[in-house]
A and B are shown apart, each in its own frame.
Chain A
Amino acid sequence: MAPLLAVLLVFVVAPLAFVVAVSFFHYDNFAIIPAFSFENYADVLTAHLTYELYVTMIWFSLLTWFFTLIIGFTVAYFLVFHVRNPLIAIGLFLVCTVPFWTSNVIRMISWLPLLGKQGLINSALLATGVTRQPLQFLLFSDFSVVVSYVHLFTIFMIVPIFNSMSRIDRTLFEAAADAGSSRWQTLLHVVVPLCKSGIALGSIFVVTLVMGDFYVVKVMSGGSRASIVSAMYDDISTLLFPHAAANAVILMIIVVIMVSLILRVVDVRKELASQR
């Protein structure tokens, strides 16, 4: 326990404490002045921008959560219940991770030649005469941002759901069928409740990743959207550290609230313990 505690202290508690401390500091164009002032928080909380950014990012989180959940659940379901041979299931599961052998940046940028004005999709649409003008919304839009998030983050849904599905006792299916349950009813009343912990864990991954994102929004929206973190980056780029720190603390509080709401719906600890 002691080594873990030491690691947590050094790498989590100390930096956080530092950020919190700086968020109360004063600053001018040249220096950061130690102080205890709520000015930075007042600045952040009274700015119209803050609300716009949070609305945008929460909206992106919800969309991404929804699509990754649908896709992640379906893929996990297929792997666990439709692939009979466990060896093949594991093999296919590993195949799901293949795209993740390259970096996030590469995977994201690979969308550009597909979605661009002169990209594959638009060229195909124009060539087949479906549209006369290239579809601009495909790239540098909210659409392309969400597509990219779903592409990048679905694996974080698949893994925990796959994990909790594999623990489901197969005899439950027979019992459900004997009790006259249809496939859909079994899915809804047996599988989904037993996957709750996996879904909750996956949701936590996806939501926190999107809320803290900086780069996907920047590249895929073509700079036409700002994210909470990109606004912080702009602060830091001209040494407005206390303002950025206050922003970071607020973001952390909001994300903690979001995570605790998820955990409130699903008691992950209890679920995991009861399945053991």
Chain B
Amino acid sequence: MAQRRKNGARIGGVDANTAISRRNLLRAAAAVGAAAGSQVIGAPTIWAQEIKDIELRHVGVSYSVVKAIGDQASKDLGFKVTMQNLDTSAAITRFITQPQTVDIPDLEGWQTKVAVARGILQGIEVKRIKEFDNILPIFTKGEYEGKKVSRQGISPYEAMYIEKKDSTKIVEGVHDWMTFLPQVYNADSIGYRPDIVGHPVTRWKDLIDPTYKGRSAILDVPNIGIMDAALALESRGDLVYKNKGNMTRQEIDTTINALIALKKQGQFRATWTTFEQSVELMASGEVVIQSMWSPAVTAVLAKGIPCIYAPVNEQPNGKEGYRGWCNGMGLMRHLSGKKLEAAYEYLNWYYAGWQGGFVARHGYYSPVPKTAEKFMTANEYGYWYLGKPAADVIKDPYGAPIAKAGAVRDGGSFIERFTNIACWNTVMDQNQYMIQRWNEFKSA
């Protein structure tokens, strides 16, 4: 512990990051105590001496629970945050079977639904979240500038509220208790090689176009892979889904049968399950178009290979649109006393901006762009958030250049992306049937 405190004091002085002044201030505030802190991150209600022995375990998927973020939080807050990575299924299993071993669970919409029903979470009190009013209404109200955000699949808003601190039923409408606090999100679409494809891709149907026979790939995580397939089939005009995020058996059958037919025609070179696989497929030239995640496109670009993240804005006829996802933080039910106080400090720290600036460089977003802006250069904020041409070279989190001056981010501003979400990551009611049929597609 002494070792860590010493480091904390030293690092602040040596660090020459853009955010230096603010970060120093934060750290100093945590060390000095309540009075100084209140001006910066609100009002820490616990004293530095008391919190130094606290350890918060934040558990979840690697793209959301990031060690660098935890390290920074530990430094700023004066207590220890440990990040532990598990894949989605292992994580929810652990939350349910060993709730005592987790403090802050990383949750997607469907995991939140399961966790709330199982009674392993406690509500997050809205009035204790300082930046609550600055959270984009996409999440807190399910709308943006009067326009309703898609409810296909499980939108963050749909899984957001409960009526009381320990209730086990998610309810419609805005309430005083939240189930989870959104912290990172994005809108997924198609990645492609512009040098080989030769024309701008703005339609999902290009993924299943025979032109790219043997050179396209699709995501093999059944719950979300099938939504990418559905977007492509809808785009091609095969059918219109009532809810791509909660298909009927018949819709599942139509989708899988179409996928099997495509596979038999040799459309798909591969399917992929991990981030690295998708990067490898694109970088090695095995595929030229595939469903993809934003940082994977960034990683391909960092290898010096051209790659575009297709803007698939929703069309007036209702076709196209992105598949959105959002991960947030919950509070496990066993948290109480000082540890609960620390957990609230931690949640509020996420909205103080450092994390928003950090994830932006991966191509992800913070639900509170207002504070994230302060931790980015004007050039970065303009490029990543506002869709403006880069005024200078844009670098990834590891310093590799990924965009030249003048480049514009694919898909435009984050508002443009998020008002064009077609459906959200989910687990369907017909989940088991869907998984079985998806495996039939794979073994066909």
Contacts and interface: CB of A to CB of B under 8 A. Distances in A.
Contacts of A116: 284-286
Interface stretch (B190-198, B263-271, B328-336, B389-397): B263-271
A117 interface: yes
12 contacts: A29-B429, A30-B114, A47-B436, A53-B443, A117-B285, A223-B272, A224-B263, A235-B432, A236-B89, A238-B110, A238-B431, A239-B114
Contact of A30 (B118, B268, B285, B432): B118
Contact of A224 (B96, B114, B268): B268
B222 interface: yes
Interface in A20-79: 29-31, 43, 47-49, 52-53, 56
B442 A223 contact: yes
10 closest Cβ pairs, A-B complex:
A222-B270, A223-B271, A237-B89, A226-B442, A30-B117, A223-B220, A226-B439, A226-B443, A231-B439, A52-B443
Contacts of B286: 116-117, 139-140, 222
Contacts of A235: 432, 435
Nearest to A48: B440
Nearest to B87: A237
A233 B93 CA distance: 13
A233 B439 CA distance: 11
Interface of B: 87-89, 92-93, 96, 110, 113-114, 117-118, 214, 217, 220-223, 263, 268-273, 277, 280-281, 284-286, 427, 429, 431-432, 435-440, 442-443
A238 B432 CA distance: 9
Interface of A: 29-31, 43, 47-49, 52-53, 56, 112-113, 116-118, 136, 139-140, 218-219, 222-226, 230-231, 233-240, 243
A46 B271 CA distance: 27
B interface, over-half SS: helix
Contacts of A140: 269-270, 286
Given A47-B436, A52-B440, A238 B427 contact: yes
B443 A225 contact: yes
A167 B396 CA distance: 61
Contacts of B284: 112-113, 116-118
A235 B286 CA distance: 29
Contact of B443 (A56, A112, A113, A243): A56
A238 B442 CA distance: 18
A169 B152 CA distance: 73
A18 to B, nearest CB: 12
Contacts of A117: 284-286
A226 B439 CA distance: 6
B222 A234 contact: yes
